[in-house]
Copies of this chain bind each other. A is one copy, B any other.
Amino acid sequence: MPAHSTQIIDLQQVKVACRSCTLHELCLPLGIEGEELERLDRIIRRRRPLARGEHLFRRGDAFRALYAVRSGAVKTYTLDEGGREQVTGFHLPGELVGLDAIGEGRHPLAARALERTSVCEIPFERLEPLTAEIPGLRRQLLRLMSRELVEDEAHLALLGQRDAEGRLAAFLLSLSQRYARRGFSAEEFRLPMSRTDLASYLGLAVETVSRLFTRFQAEGLLEAERKRVRLRDPGGLRALAVGAGARSSSRHGSGASC
């Protein structure tokens, strides 16, 4: 198996087939084997890596393919009329990008690489019919979409009811878990995004995020230098993420019978 070639040219790259990809267990091929996996593999294009800042697609672009992040990281965001950017998600290796474009045939968000990033391109027109024939693929696609809904819902709950420190704490813990699931350290990792992107994702001002990092560090919760983070007291962070900072009501909504 060829090592990750750093200089990949934009030809047909048979290297890193799904079967030998380390992300097999997280990505679309989960639960698919043998001949079926071959068929999926054949429709996937490995493109040249994206440089930091390069777009995978922009808002409004026609939907052609889903993208699986192979290495690096991608952010998705909207740009509203005033040019303000709202980051809606970060995508790590093994995750799909572009699922939200299936409905209307256009990308409602832009996606851009946060660092040097390689992706697998999965043309939807070829993937979709394949799901009819490969039950495992069909189910996995649904599972991944469903999980993205769950993630968005968690993000929503974060923005809706946590205060600033709760948001950052929850974010760091969830990122930690995502890295752990990929076989990296849960305690020490690199934040692929800028403070600005992070602030946008968390619905906060950059300055607030910066101050929180300083404070968390002073309280012994973590060590942070630039993009490297080491969680010193995950339990303490969890306490902040979960119990602490509340917002709005504690009363029940409408509805009678319980």
A residues within 8 Å of B by Cβ? 51-54, 75, 77-78, 80-88, 99-104, 108-109, 112-114, 128-129, 131-133, 135, 138-139, 141-150, 152-153, 155-157, 159-161, 193-194, 196-197, 199-201, 203-206, 242-243, 246-258
Most B-side CB within 10 Å, residue of A88, A103, A132: A103
C-alpha gap A226/B257 in the complex (Å): 22
B255–A52 touching, CB < 8 Å: yes
B138–A145 touching, CB < 8 Å: no
- Assembly of this chain: how many copies? 2
B253–A103 touching, CB < 8 Å: no
Known contacts A99-B146, A145-B145, A149-B99, A80 near B197 by CB under 8 Å: no
A100–B146 touching, CB < 8 Å: yes
A246–B156 touching, CB < 8 Å: no
C-alpha gap A51/B255 in the complex (Å): 9
Q: Which residues of B contact A88 (CB under 8 A)?
A: 153, 156-157
Q: Which of B53, B157, B243 contacts A86 (CB 8 A)?
A: B157
Q: Which of B99, B114, B200 contacts A160 (CB 8 A)?
A: B200
Q: Which residue of B lies closest to A78 (CB)?
A: B157
Most B-side CB within 10 Å, residue of A84, A194, A201, A205: A84
Q: Which residues of B contact A199 (CB under 8 A)?
A: 248-249
B145–A142 touching, CB < 8 Å: yes
A54–B257 touching, CB < 8 Å: yes
B254–A197 touching, CB < 8 Å: yes
Closest Cβ–Cβ distance, residue A258 to chain B (whole Å) = 7
Closest Cβ–Cβ distance, residue A230 to chain B (whole Å) = 22
Q: Which residues of B contact A144 (CB under 8 A)?
A: 103
B161–A253 touching, CB < 8 Å: no
